[in-house]
Amino acid sequence: MKTGFLLLLAVAGCASYKTYNQTTTGRVVFRGGIYQKDSWDNSLKFKRMSWYHGMTLYYDALFWKADPASPFSQWFSPSEKEFFTKCDSLLVTAGYSADPAKISHVNFREQMKLNGYDDVVLNTFASYLKSHPSASDWRLQNYKIMGYCKRSPTRLETKNLAINFPSFQHLEIEL
């Protein structure tokens, strides 16, 4: 009798777990890199925000505050490197949308605009990132790689990036 009750309680707990929205934050690290004849052991550290409905991932976003002094900046094309001089802050993002009807890349771009960022195309950097040996571990072929430029002065003078999708908890990360 006791075992049956515990089993019923566990099943009911799992069933209710799948019926609510949740958010998480974390990190994703890519170790080492290569550009032409140069190689390095530095790590490319992305901050991560994820939105789930129960166990189903709706949207996943990775953020790297690009640094011109980083060896990974060699992956930017000459025209992409111009953003370092035009932007107060340049973010590289990798976004995955499991179901655009729920949370889409357009929804994400709108949230970035609310934070004072305009989207920019980073095709060359994206091709290097997607070719990194760790990219297959994270299935980056399914992610959209974009840049976001915060021009100064901006009306939002904060170090934090806030994303708020409907029916989900407000998420914030420090850049």
pLDDT at position 155 is 55
- Buried (b) or exposed (e) across 14-31, using 16+ Cβ within 10 A? eeeeeeeeebeeeebebe
Q: What is the pLDDT of residues 92-138, one digit of tens each?
A: 999 999 999 999 999 999 999 999 999 999 999 999 999 999 888 88
CA distance 65 to 44: 10
Q: What is the pLDDT of residues 45-83, one digit of tens each?
A: 999 999 999 989 999 999 999 999 999 999 999 999 999
CA distance 105 to 110: 9
pLDDT band at 14 (very low <50, low <70, confident <90, very high): low
pLDDT tops 80 at residue 159: no
Q: What's the average model confidence in pLDDT over 131-151?
A: 92
pLDDT at position 110 is 97
DSSP string for residues in 65-106: E--TTSGGGGGS-HHHHTHHHH-SEEEEEEEEES-TTTS-HH
CA distance 70 to 144: 22
Rounded percentage of the chain residues whose pLDDT exceeds 70:
85
Rounded to two decimals, the pTM is 0.84
Helices in 122-168 by DSSP H: which ranges?
123-131
